Copies of this chain bind each other. A is one copy, B any other.
Amino acid sequence: MGKWKHRILFELQKNDVMRFNELKRAIPGITQKMLTAQLRELEHHDIVVRKVYAQIPPKVEYAMTEYGSSLHPLLAAMNDWGQKHAEHLKQLEEENSLKQTNA
């Protein structure tokens, strides 16, 4: 499936409309190949719209569809939990460090 979809959608939700390189900058670590591939999938699933301006230099805008917007609560919840999970993982690691120190 790809781990980036969440991030892409989360960014598109915050910013409404974004250009390709704008998305790329907003998501550190993603390659243009991945970004393209996942955007194509999202577009194919009618979650994202791709709007091409016939001009030079090229301009392509991405935004969520109305259907895609129905994901909003889910995305928000996932993001919340993701943050908690990150903290939780940190705590787990610290506990493991302590055990090793005491052993």
Q: Interface residues, chain A, CB within 8 Å of chain B?
A: 1, 3, 45-46, 67, 70-71, 73-74, 77-78, 81, 84-85, 88-89, 92
Say whether B70 contacts A74, CB under 8 Å.
no
Q: Which residues of B contact A67 (CB under 8 A)?
A: 88
- Report the Cα distance A100→B16, complex, angstroms: 33
- Report the Cα distance A67→B92, complex, angstroms: 12
- Report the Cα distance A50→B88, complex, angstroms: 19
Q: Which residues of B contact A71 (CB under 8 A)?
A: 81
- Report the Cα distance A101→B56, complex, angstroms: 36
Say whether A77 contacts B84, CB under 8 Å.
no
- Report the Cα distance A84→B89, complex, angstroms: 32
Q: Which residues of B contact A74 (CB under 8 A)?
A: 74, 77-78, 81
A2: nearest residue on chain B (CB-CB)?
Answer: B1
